[in-house]
């Protein structure tokens, strides 16, 4: 109480009262606070002179700080500080650090890269990063694919070819799978015969009589399956048609069906409705040729490369 | 100096207090936003950016309705890690026809500013129905109704009229249509013409068959069409990698 009295004698009030006697002290601000405030003002002025700040006419004042970088055309440029120039500087730095590796990637053949122990480590780490972001959403983290949607990259079966050049071509240009709809061209009996024949090629339980009729149909002009899948039914890599003899399945969920009838039914489904999917996006514009080369070796090394 | 300032003047005069409060809080806006309207590099000059077609715009509406923006941003910042993962940083010009923009500030899922063309339509359809069937570690909810709900296109004209009011160059008159032909080319201009909206929406959906189902136009068609155009309008291969450094 006595303290309060003392203060009311030495400190001024803001000069007005509510409810008769309710007053407000007008204490001075603490010195540390005032000086900190002045320091922030000085800091702001220094900051304005170094970094871009005030608008000026149709532009702004760029500030004294600048960034020098080399652009894609090889020109060295200096620009007042901004985040986009800073990105260029950071990318230049990263490119310089990675250059020894990417120069090797460019100069070496696929087979040389795969054999070189130093490069192997680089391919594994850089390839995994690229694969995880770009490829794994469809082909899954280990490249095992997804039946009915996206091919397995770890087995020996390749729709478009499993050589380095073919894998590179697939990544760069993308792919688009297609098989006509046979539901309206052939009768259900004929489709059943064909499905039994295709099942027989992979040694799946089937009706021998139907398979024999399917064999004839497969090589006839009525169904003309041989046109795309080849007379030996082993597929044609130049058009991406599937090998029907290896018991490896992408579109028909044969492994998922428990019974032989179920497996034949799955094949029948694909023949009936055809395919207009199997789209792989084009990566040529999104990734650099060196990145695609790294990915090519990485995918090749997943287990199925030829 | 006779001027003797008293708190009491403000504290006992609510009108004066309101005006001064408004002045104080408008400083931030005036300093940070107002200059952007006068700086001629705010929106970069770049080729290819066009308003969304009616189908894409409906997809965008569904994107907002489902709250995709709560987890996905559409703004690639100029950082090395973002460039490596998502591609070229986003330009202001690329969202000039977005009302409201979808830049976002929270990424639970990845940024979608350049998701267009990165995955196939089929992947998007499957992923929207059941995300974990494609990406096992995903925490995204399932959106199975998109494929089974027919797209409501009855009010597409009204939606485009509303966007036109806020400056999106959808054409209504012949003169506006011709201006769009000169600006965006005939194919695009046709799709931006409001009197043709329903027809061009149906044509794009049937031609693109985004959901893989030919029996009708679903909400999935619209959403996938929208996702597949995100970030694809500007061809950055036409520009040097520092082409937009001067704009900031």
pLDDT band per the 50, 70, 90 thresholds, residue A1: very low
pLDDT band per the 50, 70, 90 thresholds, residue A6: low
pLDDT at residue A205, as a whole number: 84
Look at chain B and report how many structural domains it folds into: 1
CB contact (8 A) between residue A281 and residue B248: no
Residue B37 is given by DSSP the state G
pLDDT at residue B164, as a whole number: 97
Q: Which of A108-122, A194-208, B133-147 has the highest mean pLDDT?
A: B133-147
Assigned domain for B25 exists: no
Give per-residue pLDDT as tens, A164-183.
999 999 999 999 988 999 99
Answer yes or no: is the ipTM higher than 0.90: no
pLDDT band per the 50, 70, 90 thresholds, residue B113: very high
Q: What is the pTM of this model?
A: 0.88
Q: Does any CB of chain B come closer than 8 Å to the CB of residue A73?
A: yes
- A8 has a pLDDT exceeding 70: no
Residues of B in contact with A69 (CB under 8 A): 242
Give per-residue pLDDT as tens, A46-91.
999 999 988 888 889 989 999 999 998 999 999 999 999 999 999 9
Topology (CATH) of A129-300: Cytochrome Bc1 Complex; Chain D, domain 2 (1.10.760)
pLDDT at residue A9, as a whole number: 61
Assigned domain for B195 exists: yes
B170: helix, strand or coil: coil
Residues of chain A with CATH 1.10.760.10: 129-300
Mean pLDDT score across all residues of chain B? 94
Residues of B in contact with A71 (CB under 8 A): 240-242
Domain CATH number, residue B141:
1.10.760.10
Look up the domain containing B59 and give its range.
Answer: 55-233
Residues of B in contact with A146 (CB under 8 A): 133-134
Give per-residue pLDDT as tens, B185-199.
999 999 999 999 999
pLDDT at residue B1, as a whole number: 47
Q: Does any CB of chain A come closer than 8 Å to the CB of residue B120?
A: yes
Residues 204-233 of chain B whose Cβ lies under 8 A from any Cβ of chain A: 212
- B48 has a pLDDT exceeding 60: yes
Question: What gap in Å lies between CA A16 and CA A8, rounded to an integer?
Answer: 14
């Amino acid at each position: 109480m006595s303290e309060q009295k003392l203060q009311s004698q030495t400190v001024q009030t803001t000069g007005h009262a509510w409810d008769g006697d309710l007053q407000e002290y007008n204490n001075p601000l603490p010195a540390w606070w005032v000086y900190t405030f002045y320091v922030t003002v000085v800091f702001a002025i220094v900051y304005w002179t170094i970094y871009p700040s005030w608008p000026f006419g149709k532009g702004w004042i760029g500030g004294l700080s600048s960034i020098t970088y080399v652009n894609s055309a090889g020109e060295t440029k200096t620009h007042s500080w901004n985040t986009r120039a800073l990105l260029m500087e950071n990318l230049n730095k990263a490119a310089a650090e990675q250059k020894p590796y990417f120069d090797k990637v460019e100069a070496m053949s696929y087979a040389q890269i795969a054999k070189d122990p130093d490069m192997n480590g680089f391919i594994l780490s850089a390839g995994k990063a690229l694969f995880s972001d770009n490829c794994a959403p469809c082909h899954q983290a280990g490249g095992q694919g997804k039946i009915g949607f996206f091919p397995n990259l770890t087995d020996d079966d390749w729709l478009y070819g499993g050589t380095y050049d073919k894998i590179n071509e697939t990544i760069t240009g993308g792919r688009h799978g297609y098989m006509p709809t046979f539901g309206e061209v052939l009768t259900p009996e004929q489709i059943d015969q064909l499905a039994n024949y295709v099942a027989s090629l992979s040694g799946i339980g089937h009706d021998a009589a139907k398979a024999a009729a399917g064999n004839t149909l497969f090589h006839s002009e009525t169904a003309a399956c041989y046109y795309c899948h080849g007379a030996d039914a082993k597929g044609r890599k130049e058009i991406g048609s599937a090998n029907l003899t290896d018991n490896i399945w992408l579109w028909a969920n044969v492994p998922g069906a428990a019974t032989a009838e179920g497996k034949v039914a799955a094949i029948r489904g694909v023949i009936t409705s055809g395919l207009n999917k199997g789209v792989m996006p084009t990566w040529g514009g999104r990734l650099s040729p060196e990145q695609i080369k790294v990915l090519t070796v990485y995918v090749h090394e997943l287990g199925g490369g030829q | 100096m006779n001027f003797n300032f008293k708190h009491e003047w403000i504290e006992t005069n609510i009108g004066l207090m309101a005006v001064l409060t408004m002045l104080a809080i408008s400083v931030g806006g005036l300093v940070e936003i107002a200059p952007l309207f006068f700086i001629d590099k705010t929106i970069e000059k770049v080729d290819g950016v066009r308003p969304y077609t009616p189908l894409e715009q409906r997809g965008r509406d569904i994107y907002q309705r489902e709250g995709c923006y709560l987890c996905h941003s559409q703004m690639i910042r100029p950082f090395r890690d973002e460039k490596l993962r998502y591609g070229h940083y986003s330009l202001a010009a690329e969202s000039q026809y977005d009302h409201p923009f979808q830049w976002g500030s929270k990424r639970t899922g990845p940024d979608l500013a350049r998701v267009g063309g990165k995955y196939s339509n089929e992947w998007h359809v499957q992923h929207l129905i059941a995300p974990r069937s494609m990406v096992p570690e995903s925490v995204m909810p399932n959106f199975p109704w998109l494929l089974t709900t027919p797209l409501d296109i009855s009010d597409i004209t009204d939606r485009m009229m509303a966007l036109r009011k806020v400056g999106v160059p959808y054409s209504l008159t012949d003169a506006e249509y011709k201006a769009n032909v000169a600006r965006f080319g005939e194919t695009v201009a046709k799709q931006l013409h409001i009197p043709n909206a329903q027809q061009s929406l149906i044509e794009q959906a049937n031609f693109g068959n985004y959901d893989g189902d030919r029996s009708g136009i679903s909400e999935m068609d619209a959403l996938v069409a929208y996702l597949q155009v995100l970030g694809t309008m500007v061809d950055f291969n036409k520009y040097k990698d520092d082409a937009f450094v001067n704009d900031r």
